[in-house]
Copies of this chain bind each other. A is one copy, B any other.
Amino acid sequence: MRIAQDRLTFDTAPREIREITRELAEWSARQGILNGLLTVFIRHTSASPLIQKNYSPDVRHDLDEFLDRLAPQDPSRYRHNDEGPDDMPAHLKAMLTQVTLTIPGMGARLQLGTSKGVFLLGHPARPHRRELVLTLIGE
């Protein structure tokens, strides 16, 4: 049993849903751990890792619109507005979609299902630099 850890940085555009499957798979493959668990942790409370279908832009559009309907950018709803009108909605979306994700690897392959990818959701209406901590535990 071994543990490998690293920090990766990604830039997100406003409300971007950015696929990061390849980067995660490549980092994992380099660690020499065949069977284990990869944990993706985001050091922010306005972005989320999410597994979803990776072929349809319509799915990503609907995910974004759904979250926007649940937590709209409407300052009259929130007390916390001093960091911009997109800040509190971003925190609410991150609460609902979580800031951490665990994916098993078997035989050196992430066990995502068919046509599934890992996406990084940048919730705010502004671009951001995101720090992720990857942890792979296994043998």
Contact = CB atoms under 8 A, between A and B. Distances in A.
Interface residues of A, number: 53
Given A37-B135, A100-B101, A80 B106 contact: no
A133 B60 CA distance: 25
A91 B52 contact: yes
A134 to B, nearest CB: 8
Contacts of A36: 3, 135, 137
A100 B91 CA distance: 18
B58 A80 contact: yes
A95 B92 contact: no
B99 A100 contact: no
Contacts of A95: 50, 52, 63, 66, 96-97
A126 interface: no
Contacts of A138: 3, 137
A5 to B, nearest CB: 6
A81 B104 CA distance: 30
Interface string A36-77: 110101011100001111001011011100100011000001
